[in-house]
Structure 1
Amino acid sequence: PATTPVEVNSKGHSVTLTIDRNIQHVAESELQAAVEKYNARGGMAVVLSPGTGEILAMATAPSFNPNAPSGAPAEARKNRSLTDSFEPGSTFKVFTLASAIEMGAVNSTDRFFCENGSYHYAGKVIHDTHRHGWLTASEVVKFSSNIGITKINERMNGDRFYDMIRAFGFGSRTGIELQGEVPGIAPSRRAFESRLRRATVAFGQGISVTPLQLAAGMAAVINGGKSMKPYLVREIRDPEGKTVFRGEPRELRRVLSPKTSSQMREILGKVVQEDGTGTQARIKGFLVGGKTGTAQKVEPGSGRYSTTKRTASFIGFLPLNDPKLLILVVIDEPRGVVYGGVVAAPAFNQIAVKTAYYLGIQPTETAALAAVRPSGPSASSRVTPVSTARTAGAMVMPDLSGLSMGRVVDIMGGYSVKLSLNGSGIAREQTPAPGAVLVPGAECSVKFAAEPPVRIAAGKGAR
């Protein structure tokens, strides 16, 4: 048969990603810190724009040096955000309640008796971590009651609930432009005929999701109800500079009405309030929403849930009423403390505050000026003595000269300014100058350049 000659172009095409290297640095650093703090097996973090589906960062720990892949174990070379699936646990209650409200099966103010922590159901006993009596549907998610969400599930038609789960994207690949993505494991429609199976899925057991699926599904809950295709290729250009592909936001389908989405944002905002399960995700200056998750892992080969191994997670977003950022943090097998609200929520907090200020997202509360400040010897050593001073509600620009780009992002994460970074290497120029007064929303730019080589002057006796 005739063959078509293949023209090989040694120059190749240029690919521009939606990944932001500074947000990626923050996500990797905070994820690694959480994994180390809790001596965990590993972790994953995803940062995306919920309105468009753009992936801004995707981190996995442990990681590896891509310049020397052979020196890393196979497990470390995977992008676990799309190659691995896990039982989501209580984060899935978000989708159960959203489905029930969308169907008209419940209202957020409907009350459910949560049996004081122990409920005989379909021949089994369903437990809550804490004892609760009567809770509204909103409080069921706020306090993460398995019993309450089981009773909410009972109000729904099983077939319609199954259709909602699939519409959120669970059980299907997202189609992101990367190899190795798995579809997760969603129960079949026939399996959903079992009351017990439906109940366990309602609180996140008996269903397996990838971190990317979970993030994309939550985006649909909070962005007005639209399922957006996640993507990370912004543009491809040929060697002559002509654009041959441009990635753009793509709406797959509408899952929720804007009204239901608005209600869910309000409900998820209560999770991080003083008595909710996600208080450690709170950020001064921003109204935040989210959900905690703590799921038992299944022991390989046994089919039984482990008594010691857990997956801790937190998925959240900000600002609450107009989400610009959605961040998922998953910590695999933390030791000691295992709850998502304690293990994963603080990492979410740090990724969120640094990314929000870096992108110039406007604070929603006046408390923004009390945001997390750099701490520790390494942070203070390069900051001018007046860096924490305030003038009429403003802050002062620190001296960033000689710092790496990652360090600049860490330090400026405590300021409510829009940050522009150019070049690579160490900081050489900055605007405004050190000591200048900064007000919220101010534009700051830093230029980076490689450090010049050390030159030894030739003199008497030099060789």
Structure 2
Amino acid sequence: MLRAKTPRKTRNTRQKTSRMGGGLSSRLGNVDWGRLRIKAVAGLFGVIWCLLWMRAWHVQVIEGDRLAGMARRQHVAAELVTGQRGSILDRNGQVLARSVEMRSVYVHPLEVQDVDNTAAVLSRCLDLPLPQVRAALSERRRFAWLARKVDDRKANLVREAKLSGVGLTTEYERIYPFRQMAGQLLGFVGLDDKGLEGVERAMDDSLAGTSTRMVMERDAAGRRFYLPGSSDNDIRGGDVRLTIDMQVQFFAEEALADAVDTYEAKWGGALVVDVQSGDILAWAQYPFFNPNAYREYTPARWRNRLASDALEPGSTFKPFLVAAGLQEGVITPDTLFYCEKGKWKTRTINIRDTHSYDWLPVNKIMRYSSNIGCAKIGLELGTRRYHDYLVKLGFGERTGVPVAESKGILRKPRDWSEADLITASFGQSVSVTALQMAQGYLTLANDGVLKKLRLFIPENGAQQQDVVPSPSPVGPGVAVAAEPRRIFSHKVARQVMDMLRDVVEEDGTGTRARIAGITIGGKTGTAQKADSSGSYGKGRLASFVGLVPIDRPRYLIFVMVDEPTRSPYGGVVAAPVFKHVALRTMAYHGLLPEPVDTDDLKVAEVQKKGAPQDIRQEVRREISERVIETADNVPDVVGKPVRRAVEMFATKGRVPVLKGTGQTVVKQSPEPGAAWQDDKEYILWLSERS
């Protein structure tokens, strides 16, 4: 029985096992493996997401402050940022001074980890002595400059070295593209971009960029980047536009340099002024000064002498005396003064003229520049009245041109002796600047109305107004425009201008300033200079002030040459400089007179207009006269204006003697067509008839 039961149990076990195996396999076979994988992936991502949130919470909450500080130290730094300095432009937009970016190397000594290694690397990168670099790194302070405004090669070497405690910052280097042109006027800036001389100093508030401490963000390469709406332009300085025309500036500097070198002078200066606007077109000084290398020059070379040096003007001062005398009615152009045969001894002073003159009218006192004649005019005018006119003209005060400017020396009337009045009448005992002289002549050229000089053009391009500030009736601090200040009447101004014309166009002292086809007016000056003892020595200041054309002046040119050794006279040294500058400036602006039309064209034009036969005959007569004028014989000048007649004789090197008064030639000697003779006197009789 027991044997029979055993197999039955085995079979049951096998059946049970079979039933169990079949069920697992059946269940596994029924699993949706695709859904299972999706759930597994979703679960995995859920776990990762939870871990990320846990990490983010740990980073932001637990370690947030520490990591934020690390980020700021790596990418954000607070530094003193100075905006780029504004540019200086001429009237046509030419850049006279601009700033370019440079890199400077600084160090935080307290952050340097290895002083010896850092010093060795920086010494190689910057080509600096090792002891100097080590000393800078060893200082116990938070910041120190190591090298300012280095070139790109050195800056890249420092950047690639990645030294702890060493950094690069942006600074600006001032560049003057025209080098020495207008160097003394422009001036220069120092290492810290601060204006030290000239326009750079005078307009530093406008040109300088804003300095501010900013939190700057940088990328991995160390470049700045900004939030929207912010840029370097926010702190950049403003541009300044001058009235200077660099082409006219070149004309003036070229002529001035040639004169100073030719006559072996110490120094020379020239101003070119547009009469209509008062704009200064050229401000030239020689020897030159290159502000790009200002450290290589002495202060005497970069000194802006035309504004800051006050010198005795000499004979160029005489037109102001004559204008004052005419305005006060104490003289007329024909008033005669005895010139003492060239030597006059007063109670207190001895006066000499360069030539022996007897009786001269006022217009010839000006033409021949008689010191004795001017001294007697001064005595007639008197100290008080003469001094008042000098003050009205701006002498003894700054002109208002915004540069470092001297006031000159003009003592109060109570301090003048008779000798002071006499010497001041011909340009001694007073000291003036070139700017003051230019402004005085500008008043004469402006029909006697004071006109201010202008060096800067406003941002809106507004034209200068001929007004002079006056006390406000409204109250202090309230700006009220004043009427133009008239100093001399129109008649007086024209009389003085006619005398200036005679100085050049007649037999005066300024004949070397003549320009064929253009009527010139001006005044020469040869001023004595005081030596170290205070008395007059051998030094002379040669000068010339000219207006072109004199009938309706367009340009005023003032030239001064200091202590020329080969000739002391302004008519010899300075007048040719005026001629050169005036001629080229007129040509540059297209103001030279057109060439005379051919004779045939003139006849054809008259016939085309249907002119009467007598007019055509007059044209033919003029044509025949021109043939005579070009030949080697005396021209027919009867009926011509005196200026034209004198010009025709002057082209042949002859200066005719004028007799009578008036503006028209009514008789001449010798007769037209006669041969030129060197020892012959040529006389023209004048009358008022036309």
TM value normalised by structure 1: 0.73
Identify if the C-alpha distance between structure 1 residues 338 and 324 changes in structure 2 by more than 3 Å, giving closer, same or farther. same
Q: Give 1 or 2: higher helix fraction.
A: 2
In the other structure, the counterpart of 2:256 is 31
Q: 1:40 aligns with which of 265, 289, 310?
A: 265
In the other structure, the counterpart of 2:529 is 297
Task: Establish whether residue 137 from structure 1 lines up as the match of residue 357 from structure 2.
Answer: no
1:104: Cα distance to partner? Answer: 0.8
Task: Establish whether residue 345 from structure 1 lines up as the match of residue 575 from structure 2.
Answer: yes
Q: Is the CA contact 1:296–1:310 (under 8 Å) kept in the aligned structure 2?
A: yes
Question: Aligned partners of 1:351, 1:206: CA distance in 2, in Å?
Answer: 31
1:52: Cα distance to partner? Answer: 2.4
1:26: Cα distance to partner? Answer: 0.5
Matches within 5 A, 1:49-198: 49-178=274-403, 180-192=404-416, 194-198=417-421
Q: Is the CA contact 1:233–1:246 (under 8 Å) kept in the aligned structure 2?
A: no
Task: Establish whether residue 251 from structure 1 lines up as the match of residue 467 from structure 2.
Answer: yes
Larger radius of gyration: 2
Q: 1:270 aligns with which of 502, 515, 528?
A: 502
1:161: Cα distance to partner? Answer: 1.0
Task: Establish whether residue 218 from structure 1 lines up as the match of residue 441 from structure 2.
Answer: yes
Aligned to 2:431, what secondary structure does the other structure show?
coil
Q: Is the CA contact 1:268–1:290 (under 8 Å) kept in the aligned structure 2?
A: yes
1:254: Cα distance to partner? Answer: 1.7
Q: Is the CA contact 1:51–1:228 (under 8 Å) kept in the aligned structure 2?
A: no
1:132: Cα distance to partner? Answer: 0.3
Aligned to 2:255, what secondary structure does the other structure show?
helix
Question: Aligned partners of 1:63, 1:166: CA distance in 2, in Å?
Answer: 33
Identify if the C-alpha distance between structure 1 residues 283 and 251 changes in structure 2 by more than 3 Å, giving closer, same or farther. farther
Q: Is the CA contact 2:306–2:434 (under 8 Å) kept in the aligned structure 1?
A: yes
Aligned to 1:295, what secondary structure does the other structure show?
strand
Worse overlay, 48-57 or 355-364: 355-364
In the other structure, the counterpart of 2:584 is 354
Q: 1:204 aligns with which of 402, 427, 439?
A: 427
Question: Aligned partners of 1:246, 1:318: CA distance in 2, in Å?
Answer: 25
- Root-mean-square deviation (CA), in Å? 2.0
Q: Structure 1 counterpart of 2:581, which letter?
A: I
Q: Is the CA contact 1:231–1:247 (under 8 Å) kept in the aligned structure 2?
A: no
Higher relative contact order (CA 8 A, sep 6+): 1
Identify if the C-alpha distance between structure 1 residues 65 and 247 changes in structure 2 by more than 3 Å, giving closer, same or farther. farther
Question: Aligned partners of 1:216, 1:54: CA distance in 2, in Å?
Answer: 11
Q: Structure 2 counterpart of 1:316, which letter?
A: G
Question: Aligned partners of 2:596, 2:491: CA distance in 1, in Å?
Answer: 28
Deviations 1:92-139 (CA, angstroms, capped at 9, x unpaired) = 111100110011110001111100001121332111111100111010
Q: Structure 2 counterpart of 1:224, which letter?
A: D
Q: How many residues align?
A: 353
In the other structure, the counterpart of 1:363 is 593
Task: Establish whether residue 310 from structure 1 lines up as the match of residue 540 from structure 2.
Answer: yes
Aligned to 1:263, what secondary structure does the other structure show?
helix
Q: Is the CA contact 1:287–1:365 (under 8 Å) kept in the aligned structure 2?
A: no
> Mind listing any 5+ residue stretches in structure 2 that lack a counterpart?
1-209, 213-232, 469-484, 598-690
Q: Structure 2 counterpart of 1:110, which letter?
A: T
1:84: Cα distance to partner? Answer: 0.6
Question: Aligned partners of 1:273, 1:326: CA distance in 2, in Å?
Answer: 17
1:228: Cα distance to partner? Answer: 1.2
Q: Is the CA contact 1:271–1:289 (under 8 Å) kept in the aligned structure 2?
A: yes
In the other structure, the counterpart of 1:447 is none
Question: Aligned partners of 2:372, 2:259: CA distance in 1, in Å?
Answer: 30
Deviations 1:423-458 (CA, angstroms, capped at 9, x unpaired) = xxxxxxxxxxxxxxxxxxxxxxxxxxxxxxxxxxxx
Question: Aligned partners of 1:265, 1:161: CA distance in 2, in Å?
Answer: 19
Identify if the C-alpha distance between structure 1 residues 88 and 364 changes in structure 2 by more than 3 Å, giving closer, same or farther. farther
Question: Aligned partners of 1:353, 1:303: CA distance in 2, in Å?
Answer: 40
Identify if the C-alpha distance between structure 1 residues 141 and 108 changes in structure 2 by more than 3 Å, giving closer, same or farther. same
Aligned to 2:539, what secondary structure does the other structure show?
strand
Q: 1:330 aligns with which of 553, 560, 563?
A: 560
Identify if the C-alpha distance between structure 1 residues 197 and 318 changes in structure 2 by more than 3 Å, giving closer, same or farther. same
Aligned to 1:51, what secondary structure does the other structure show?
coil
Task: Establish whether residue 287 from structure 1 lines up as the match of residue 511 from structure 2.
Answer: no
Question: Aligned partners of 1:182, 1:68: CA distance in 2, in Å?
Answer: 26
1:365: Cα distance to partner? Answer: 9.3
Identify if the C-alpha distance between structure 1 residues 364 and 190 changes in structure 2 by more than 3 Å, giving closer, same or farther. farther
